[in-house]
Amino acid sequence: MSRPPLPPFTLETAAQKVRAAEDAWNSRDPDRVTPAYTDDSQWRNRAEFLSGHADIHAFLTRKWRKELDYRLIKELWAFAGNRIAVRYAYEWRDDSGQWFRSYGNENWEFADDGRMSHRHASLNDLPIAEDDRLFHWPLGERPHDHPGLSELGL
């Protein structure tokens, strides 16, 4: 199962890979997101360590049950060969109505078939007022004319 673009990445293909990941995660559909990772993909997400599709699918299901109205923006930070570094922010609310903006960085490593074999994520959550939200689009993929992180001053 090939997931283009394939490594080694160029500036153009690394940016395409980042946007494809953003679009998939904004679907909030673990069945759409999980196949982008190798069967034995290794993750570190905050203090949680995951291995393989079953762990990834369970994690994503749990995540999107907790993080309601989730909207994500990713931005390419650096790339070389089969690795990409991104920075990102996403906004979400909990079931009490408290809004958060989560800021993070990820380091990705890809297998030859274009699926991610390693994902190392570090992130922090900042409570925000609903009026401070910056990510305003209908749930799903970010429209191509919506500002990215740099344009939003993040």
Euclidean distance between CA atoms 154 and 89, whole angstroms: 8
Q: Which CATH architecture is the domain 11-132 placed in?
A: Roll (3.10)
* Backbone torsions φ then ψ of 32, nearest 5 degrees: -85, -40
Q: What is the pLDDT of residue 48?
A: 95
What digits encode the pLDDT tens for the residues 95-145?
999 999 999 999 999 999 999 999 999 999 999 999 999 999 999 999 999
Write down the pLDDT at residue 1. Answer: 82
* CA 71 distance to own-chain centroid: 10
Tell me the domain boundaries of the chain: 11-132
Task: Return the pLDDT at 28.
Answer: 98
Long-range contacts of residues 95-104, Cβ cutoff 8 Å, at least 24 apart: 95/66, 95/68, 97/130, 98/127, 99/127, 99/128, 99/129, 99/130, 99/132, 99/133, 100/67, 100/125, 100/126, 100/127, 100/128, 101/125, 101/126, 101/128, 101/132, 101/133, 101/134, 102/126, 103/154
pLDDT at 14: 98
Structure tokens at 33: 């997101």
Cβ distance 17 to 9 under 8 Å? yes
Both tokens of residue 45? 């997400």
Q: How far is it, in rounded angstroms, from Cα 48 to Cα 28?
A: 19
pTM of the model: 0.97
Q: pLDDT tens-digit profile of 69-80?
A: 999 999 999 999
